[in-house]
Amino acid sequence: MDQTRAPYVEAIQQLASSEPLHVMVPGHGGTPAAGGAHLADVYGERIAEYDVPLMLDGIDLGDHSARVQSQQLAAEAWGAKRVWWLTNGASQGNRTAALAVRGLGERVLMQRSSHSSFVDGVLLAGLIPAFVAPTIDEAHGIAHGLTPERLDEALREEAEHGRKASSVYIVSPSYFGSTADVRALAEVAHAHGAALIVDGAWGAHFGFHEGLPESPARLGADIVISSTHKLAGSLTQASMLHLAEGPFAEQLEPLIDRAYTMTASTSASAILMGSLDLARRALVQGRDQIGASIRAAEQLRERVRADDRFLVIRDDFSQFADIVQTDPLRVPIDVSKIGQSGHWVRDRLITEHGVFFEMSTATTIVAVIGALAAPDVDRVMRALGAVADEADALRAEGRADTLTAFPPLPEAGMLRMLPRAAYFAESVVVTAHQAIGRISADTLAAYPPGIPNLVPGEEITEQTVTFLQAVAASPTGVVRGAADPLVATFRVVRDPVTASLQA
């Protein structure tokens, strides 16, 4: 296929050049003069011209439309059988995948550090989840991935108890760039008769340069959730779902099609979809540009290593058996030596120097470099050095940041009800102290990175309460799904016995 083309974008450009008169949605009229001046003043005059609705001949209607051609190009580029474009982020992909795999069976084995949007999908689909804990970096509170041996053990345990899983959900790469052995994990899942879903949200750029890990679709995964906007160059929210060739492909394709109609907007943005077309073409043609990004990331790591106040966390990844490769475009930095939390460091970098790192934890900050981007490393290091100097001065004054003391990631509580039953059960809001030992009616996930720490039906433990409240109190933390911003209260099932009988 001709990967130099972007058929979907070309079709939209052709429509715009024909000077159409729009007496249809969207209401901006398609040009600045027709009603889109307020958009053109900020985004440029082409934004309204390219913002076209669905169901137009020559663009998205028909089996051989420009949109279909572009999606076929994307499938080839990532090594997939088929691709679905997503305009509501990888979260849409997770919900779609959950609905689809319910057609294979009701049980799913999930890596505990799964994104909360897949838990949402579990609720929607009525799946019965079981959880397997990933490897944890206790020093930094980082969740990595699964080894094939641990997955095999977990699948055997479930089968021995009459709970055979029909699908498996793993995360690779992690927020910090650690990449699991997807090929071996797929072989294990398939040996147990289960389809493998890979949350590859942070690895949409994989497979486009020899310095990057391979695309999971080429390694045996059955479904891959790809957050294209994160590092691969599309606009925010523009993502993809990949169906790979494999033992479940024929069964999954119609299931994904049906699930997609339930999660996709009937007014999907042509701007967002066009950015997916352009990002794919840029990645295919961008080997040199990707190489420059990889070199910039390595230069940043080398400069960080040269300052003994910092450590590059990936340098210790070899101690974790689940990590077989690392995304070179992620630069996680341990800042604990300077006596201030990662939250404080990130905030000072932003407010004083205009340098925005992706995220922070109590001990770390994480830089993310797009596959088609090459940041000014000198500026980053000047800012980082200045913030470290400021921290040194505060430490000399005895003003270290107390937020460096942070509770460990909590272990999962016992699943005492099916998630869907708990979610729809009659609930009541109680204080955090009263919630301990009760059954959660909500999904609570600490952001970043959005990993569920509680799911509906799970028993609330003191450890989980402590962790979530610490996240909520941190400068950059938020707990999605909490009954209040500080997690002082929890929504719990009022009467578990009655609720279970009703379910």
Give the three-class secondary structure for 494. Answer: coil
Q: Measured between alpha carbons, how far is 409 from 468 in angstroms, rounded to an integer?
A: 9
**Which of 424, 412, 458 minimizes the C-alpha distance to 123?**
424
Model confidence band, residue 448 (pLDDT cutoffs 50, 70, 90): low
Give the three-class secondary structure for 103. Answer: coil
Cβ-based neighbours of 254, under 8 Å, separated by 6 or more = none
Backbone angles phi and psi of 164, in degrees to 5: -60, 125
* pTM for the structure as a whole: 0.93
| Residue 116 confidence (pLDDT) above 90 | no
Q: Measured between alpha carbons, how far is 113 from 180 in angstroms, rounded to an integer?
A: 13
Examine residue 448 and say whether the peptide bond preceding it is cis (omega within 30 degrees of 0): yes
Q: Is the dihedral of CA 468, 471, 472, 478 positive or negative?
A: negative
Each residue's pLDDT tens digit, 339-385: 998 989 999 999 999 999 998 888 899 999 999 998 999 999 999 99
Q: Are 447 and 482 in contact (CB under 8 A)?
A: no
Each residue's pLDDT tens digit, 28-61: 999 999 999 999 999 998 999 999 999 999 999 9
Domains of the chain: 1-65+268-285 (no CATH), 88-264 (3.40.640.10), 287-404 (3.90.1150.10), 419-502 (3.90.100.10)
For residue 64, the one-letter residue type is H
Backbone Cα Rg of the chain: 24
Q: Measured between alpha carbons, how far is 78 from 239 in angstroms, rounded to an integer?
A: 13
Q: Measured between alpha carbons, how far is 418 from 425 in angstroms, rounded to an integer?
A: 11
**Which of 101, 84, 125 minimizes the C-alpha distance to 243?**
84
**DSSP class of residue 165?**
-
Q: What is the pLDDT of residue 462?
A: 96
Each residue's pLDDT tens digit, 254-308: 999 999 999 999 999 999 999 999 999 999 999 999 999 999 999 999 999 999 9
List residues bridging with 132 in a β-sheet. 111
Backbone angles phi and psi of 108, in degrees to 5: -130, 135
**Which of 443, 439, 441 minimizes the C-alpha distance to 452?**
443
Give the three-class secondary structure for 208. Answer: coil
Angle between helices 7-17 and 270-285 (to 10 degrees): 130
Q: Is the dihedral of CA 8, 9, 15, 18 positive or negative?
A: negative
Q: Measured between alpha carbons, how far is 465 from 410 in angstroms, rounded to an integer?
A: 9
Each residue's pLDDT tens digit, 403-414: 545 577 788 899
- What's the token pair of residue 397? 């004054």
